[in-house]
Amino acid sequence: MAIRDLLLKEFDEEMKKTRTALERVPPDKGDFAPHPKSTPLKKLAPHVAQLTGFGVAILTAPGLDFSTAGMKPLVFESPAQLVRALDEGSAEARRALQNTSDEAWTQPWTLSFAGKPIFEGSRFMAYREMFINHIVHHRAQLGVYLRLVGAPVPATYGPSADDTLGF
């Protein structure tokens, strides 16, 4: 079995859970941040929606330099806009994942800024650490924000206080 086939089910599940979280972002709470050092909701939610582009870069290029990447942050408008961005990006990332050969997973991959390395490792570790774990981390942050602004928190790996999954 190809490595990509093992990863596709996980990818689909994580994107589904991320989509549900983005659907619940309240459009009128964009300035909310739980702490002065925290990113406001209007920046965190679009970041989550756009992280699929990072997955595409990991799967299709030998590296990424943030100083030259030209990635434009999405400006928060609505939950529907966030979901559209995630759906479009996840379709592209899924295609890239389907086209990734077993040999490609062991190739070196580098994330840098102005040539200074931030991450160096195999494409597989970049995919897991820099993409999948990254989106899960920020989705968990988003769940805390949702709770604090009174929005329902979706179930992820089991029921939440708002979504019991039939329990």
Q: Is a pLDDT exceeding 90 seen at residue 52?
A: yes
Q: How far is CA 77 from CA 27, 63, 74, 153, 157, in A?
A: 7, 31, 9, 20, 28
Stretch 2-15: mean pLDDT, rounded?
97
DSSP assignment string, 10-51: HHHHHHHHHHHHHHT--TT-TT--SSTTSPPHHHHHHHHHHH
Q: pLDDT category, 166, cuts 50, 70, 90?
A: low
Per-residue pLDDT tens over the stretch 53-68: 999 999 999 999 999 9
Is the pLDDT at 5 greater than 80, yes or no?
Answer: yes
In this structure, is the dihedral angle defined by the CA atoms of residues 5, 60, 79 and 157, taken in order, positive or negative?
positive
pLDDT of residue 70: 79
**pLDDT exceeds cutoff 80 at 2:** yes
The Cα–Cα gap between 8 and 10 comes to: 5
pLDDT tens track for 27-49: 999 999 999 999 999 999 999 99
- pLDDT tens-digit profile of 78-110? 999 999 999 999 999 999 999 999 999 999 999
Check residue 71 and give its pLDDT: 82
DSSP letter assigned to residue 107:
S
Torsion of the alpha carbons at 51, 140, 151 and 10, rounded to the nearest 10 = 70
CB-CB contact of 58 with 127 (8 Å):
yes
Is the pLDDT reported for residue 165 higher than 80?
A: no
The pTM for the full model equals 0.94
Domains recognised in the chain with CATH numbers: 9-27+38-69+76-148 (1.20.120)
Among 64, 51, 47, smallest CA distance to 145 is for 47
For the stretch 125-164, pLDDT in tens is 999 999 999 999 999 999 999 999 999 999 999 999 998 7
Neighbouring-strand partners of residue 121? 109
73, pLDDT greater than 80: yes
Running DSSP on this structure, what letter comes out for residue 104? G
